[in-house]
């Protein structure tokens, strides 16, 4: 650190400002290089083998084309949520669905978390509205007093 660095590079830089134009990016890993070189050929071979009835190749192709869904679709009719009371009604319906076995505990928990987030959004909107009304009433009082 005792020697100051030049602007923009240290003295003696013969390359100029950074990497020369047109120079290739550094290659990633050896695995990426292999994939770049042989990936398309391997994919075509795997598809060809699957077409010939190779079960392992079929499985590999199908797993990539149509992966297993991690979360199943849950259909539940909930009320339109605009107020805290609507959230309470929706939460009650989720609880009833869980009690009847139509909704799993995991799905019910996720739905309740979404309802809780919606509740926070509604609460923050109501707080903002109350603050705006208070500010308006305070401004009105000051205007009234000044007259």
Q: How far apart are CA 122 and CA 143, in angstroms?
A: 32
Q: Report how far residue 113's alpha carbon sits from residue 37's, in angstroms, rounded to the nearest whole number.
A: 46
- Domain-embedded: residue 73: no
| Residue linked to tokens 């134009």 | 21
**HSE-up of residue 59 (Cα within 13 Å, Cβ side):** 3
| Residue 25 belongs to a domain | no
Q: What is the pLDDT of residue 144?
A: 57
Is the same domain home to 91 and 131? yes
Write the pLDDT tens digit of every residue in 56-107: 999 998 988 888 777 777 788 888 998 889 999 999 999 999 999 889 899 9
Least confident range from 66-80, 107-121, 128-142: namely 66-80
As for how many domains the chain has, the answer is 2
């Amino acid at each position: 650190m005792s020697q100051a660095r030049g602007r923009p590079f240290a003295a003696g830089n013969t390359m100029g400002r950074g990497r020369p134009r047109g120079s290739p990016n550094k290659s990633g890993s050896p695995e990426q290089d292999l994939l770049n070189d042989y990936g398309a050929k391997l994919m075509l071979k795997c598809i060809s083998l699957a077409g010939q009835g190779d079960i392992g190749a079929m499985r590999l192709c199908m797993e990539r084309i149509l992966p297993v869904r991690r979360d199943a679709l849950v259909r539940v009719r909930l009320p339109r949520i605009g107020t805290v009371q609507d959230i309470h009604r929706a939460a009650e319906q989720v609880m009833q669905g869980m009690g009847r076995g139509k909704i799993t505990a995991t799905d019910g928990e996720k739905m309740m978390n979404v309802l809780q987030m919606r509740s926070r959004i509604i609460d923050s909107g109501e707080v903002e509205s109350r603050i705006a009304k208070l500010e308006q009433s305070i401004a009105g009082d000051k205007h009234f007093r000044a007259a």
